[in-house]
């Protein structure tokens, strides 16, 4: 029998239209044989959907997951220990019929309220977990939800555990009035203390996350992840349309929209969720940094590739030759360094204000096993990618993303390694509107006092303040044919000599080459480059870099926070 025919004969064909008509009203997968996907309309076998993590086998659309299923799905088997079951609301408005409604829902769903909390292990790492369940009054946040979340976070703080909260909520619970509103403050305050204790909070947003939950615990994660295409917003689309009388763009308030606007660290497919959470938890274990391992790193800890035949580097290049080489198309770019020097890299996106700037790539990775924060100014490897990455010219949101990740590194005691490669910060109307100068200034200001080791490596162009904003470091290294200058030779010639065609002469007087800058004490180390430096002979640069990074981490990892900040202060104070 064809599925469609079967479908007609099941009770699902009698579902009320409203139950599957809109995207935001989704029925749960029933226990029966068939159901209809509310995204593509296909008839699908309920068992298949369950087996496949509640994903439509036809269109890949995500169904909501019951809270206990969600926990089964991410936790190691048999590790869930539930906390605080059975709390009762005081029904603050004495709202008629409310208690009866709750009793009915408890019976129907087997839940005691709209959130389940407790402790689990994920791939062996212990964590506190909370999961909202949309079947219970659209997981709106009443007093009991707020109380359970706050208690779970407080206990995590006491036991020094990370917290993972899966949000899915219509927002505040109207039946509890202003008491419901206060749960936003209660949960946020508990998370602030958890964060101040140096602990990790991962927020996972699922469809839909709206209203008072978005405006409190959902948006406060150190790391904020979302499932694909989830509706996430403060005011729902219908409310906005009715209020301002404007039609909203397609994809408005979906996960992809939020990622682009800088509010998510990443979108994770359900099939990748457990592995992603496990990886993040491991990278943050023991406050994120394996201090002992870092302090004892040596050259022997970094793998040695088979020694290639060394190609002697060019000695007699002019400064202008080096400017040209620093801009070469086939020169390895930031992402190449991340790939070759580190393992377990997870990219985190967004400045949490406006945008995710593709001219800056940042995230957490391991260097010889030690968790580090890595941030690179990113040129593309072809024209298309270069356009997407704005030719390596960061916008204010790029510097704000970098700074956000650096502050996070500081919170988790991770060293920071930056790769600099930019013609300069992006000049443009939009960049000025959003405060390019402020973004660079703030970055320099905050970097100068970060309480963790900071290393910057200039791998291509070190263009002016746009470069310094990621190079206010303990040590700054340069590749032999990279350059670092107050502005481009073209700009220099045009300002001082009113003639940009004199760029070549300008390059010679600007002292922008690695060797000049080393002599001036602006940089500590210069790495030789092979002739025709490219992906082909990349290892010749990577090998000594690896050894020196191991040396850097070991040396600076032994310094106290005070010694580090004092050292960095004096490094620039003496210039
Ligand atoms: Zn479907």
pLDDT (tens, 9 = 90+) of the chain, 575 residues, equals 344 443 333 333 333 333 333 344 455 555 567 888 888 888 888 888 887 789 988 888 999 999 999 999 999 999 999 999 999 999 999 999 999 999 999 999 999 999 999 999 999 999 999 999 999 999 999 999 999 999 999 999 999 999 999 999 999 999 999 999 999 999 999 999 999 999 999 999 999 999 999 999 999 999 999 999 999 999 988 888 888 888 888 899 999 999 999 999 999 999 999 999 999 999 998 555 667 778 888 777 776 555 555 555 666 899 999 999 999 989 999 999 999 999 999 999 999 999 999 999 999 999 999 999 999 999 998 999 999 999 999 999 999 999 999 999 999 999 999 999 999 999 999 999 999 999 999 999 999 999 999 999 999 999 999 999 999 999 999 999 999 999 999 999 999 999 988 999 999 999 999 999 999 999 999 999 998 999 999 999 999 999 999 999 999 999 999 999 999 999 999 99
Q: Strand, helix or coil at 326?
A: helix
* 190 alpha carbon – ligand 1 mean position (Å): 39
354 with 398: CB under 8 angstroms? no
| Residue from 488, 520, 468, 498 nearest 323 by CA | 488
* 236 alpha carbon – ligand 1 mean position (Å): 23
CB neighbours of residue 513 within 10 Å: 27
* 50 alpha carbon – ligand 1 mean position (Å): 14
* 295 alpha carbon – ligand 1 mean position (Å): 53
Q: Looking at residue 175, what is its pLDDT?
A: 95
Whole-number Cα distances in Å, 413 to 197, 452, 557:
12, 6, 10
Rounded to 5 degrees, what are φ and ψ at 273? -65, -50
d(CA 127, CA 121): 6
* 314 alpha carbon – ligand 1 mean position (Å): 60
Strand-pair category, 223-226 with 201-209: parallel
* 206 alpha carbon – ligand 1 mean position (Å): 17
Place of tokens 């602006």: 522
Q: Looking at residue 285, what is its pLDDT?
A: 86
* 489 alpha carbon – ligand 1 mean position (Å): 57
* 85 alpha carbon – ligand 1 mean position (Å): 35
Q: Strand, helix or coil at 340?
A: helix
* 18 alpha carbon – ligand 1 mean position (Å): 17
d(CA 46, CA 6): 13
Q: Looking at residue 310, what is its pLDDT?
A: 56
* 309 alpha carbon – ligand 1 mean position (Å): 56
The structure tokens listed for 521 are 């004490």
* 45 alpha carbon – ligand 1 mean position (Å): 11
* 43 alpha carbon – ligand 1 mean position (Å): 8
* 272 alpha carbon – ligand 1 mean position (Å): 20
202 with 266: CB under 8 angstroms? no
The backbone region for 457, taken as left when phi is positive above 0, alpha when psi lies in -120 to 50, beta otherwise, is: beta
Place of tokens 């593309």: 380
Rounded to 5 degrees, what are φ and ψ at 255? -50, -45
* 240 alpha carbon – ligand 1 mean position (Å): 28
- Indicate the pTM of the whole model: 0.91
* 73 alpha carbon – ligand 1 mean position (Å): 21
* 5 alpha carbon – ligand 1 mean position (Å): 17
d(CA 91, CA 93): 6
């Amino acid at each position: 029998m064809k599925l469609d025919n079967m479908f007609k004969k099941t009770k699902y064909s009698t579902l009320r239209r409203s139950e599957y008509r809109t995207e935001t009203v989704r029925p749960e997968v029933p226990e029966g044989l068939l159901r209809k996907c509310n995204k593509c309309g296909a008839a699908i076998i309920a068992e298949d959907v369950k087996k496949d993590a509640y994903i439509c086998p036809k269109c890949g659309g995500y169904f909501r997951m019951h809270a206990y299923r969600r926990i089964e799905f991410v936790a190691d088997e048999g590790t869930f220990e539930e906390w605080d079951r059975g709390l009762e609301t005081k029904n603050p408005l004495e709202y008629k019929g409310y208690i009866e409604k709750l009793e009915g829902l408890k019976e129907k769903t087997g839940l005691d309220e709209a959130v389940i909390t407790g402790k689990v292990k994920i791939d062996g790492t212990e964590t506190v977990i909370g999961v909202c369940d949309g079947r219970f009054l659209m997981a709106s946040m009443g007093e009991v939800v707020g109380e359970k979340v706050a208690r779970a976070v407080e206990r995590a703080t006491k036991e020094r555990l990370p917290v993972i909260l899966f949000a899915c909520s219509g927002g505040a619970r109207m039946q509890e009035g202003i008491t419901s509103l206060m749960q936003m403050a209660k949960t946020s305050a508990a998370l602030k203390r958890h964060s101040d204790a140096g602990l990790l909070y991962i927020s996972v947003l699922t469809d839909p996350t709206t209203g008072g939950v978005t405006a409190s615990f959902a948006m406060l994660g150190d790391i904020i992840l979302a499932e694909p295409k989830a509706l996430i917003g403060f005011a729902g689309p219908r409310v906005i349309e009715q209020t301002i009388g404007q039609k909203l763009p397609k994809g408005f308030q979906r996960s992809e929209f939020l990622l682009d606007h800088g509010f998510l660290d990443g979108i994770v497919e359900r099939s990748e969720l457990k592995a992603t959470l496990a990886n993040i938890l491991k990278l943050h274990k023991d406050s994120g940094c394996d201090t002992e391992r870092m302090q004892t790193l040596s050259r022997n800890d970094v793998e040695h590739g088979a020694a290639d035949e060394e190609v002697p580097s060019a000695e007699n290049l002019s400064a202008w030759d080096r400017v040209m080489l620093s801009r070469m198309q086939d020169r390895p770019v930031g992402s190449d360094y991340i790939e070759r020097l580190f393992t377990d890299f997870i990219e985190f996106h967004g400045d949490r204000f406006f945008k995710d700037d593709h001219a800056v790539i940042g995230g957490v990775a391991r260097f010889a096993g030690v968790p580090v924060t890595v941030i690179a100014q990113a040129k593309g490897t072809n024209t298309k990618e270069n356009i997407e990455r704005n030719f390596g010219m960061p916008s204010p949101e790029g510097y704000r993303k970098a700074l956000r990740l650096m502050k996070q590194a500081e919170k988790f005691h991770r060293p920071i390694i930056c790769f600099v490669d930019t013609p300069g910060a992006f000049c443009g109307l939009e960049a000025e509107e959003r405060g390019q100068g402020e973004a660079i200034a703030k970055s320099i200001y905050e970097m100068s006092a970060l309480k963790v080791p900071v290393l910057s490596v200039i791998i291509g162009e070190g263009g002016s303040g746009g470069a310094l904003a990621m190079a206010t470091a303990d040590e700054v290294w340069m590749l032999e044919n990279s350059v670092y200058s107050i502005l481009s030779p073209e700009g220099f010639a045009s300002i001082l000599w009113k003639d940009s065609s004199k760029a070549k002469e300008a390059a010679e007087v600007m002292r922008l080459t690695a060797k000049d800058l080393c002599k001036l004490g602006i940089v500590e180390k210069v790495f030789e480059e092979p002739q025709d430096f490219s992906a082909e002979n990349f290892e010749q640069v990577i090998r000594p870099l690896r050894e020196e990074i191991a040396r850097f981490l070991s040396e600076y990892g032994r310094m106290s926070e005070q010694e580090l900040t004092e050292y960095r202060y004096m490094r620039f104070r003496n210039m």
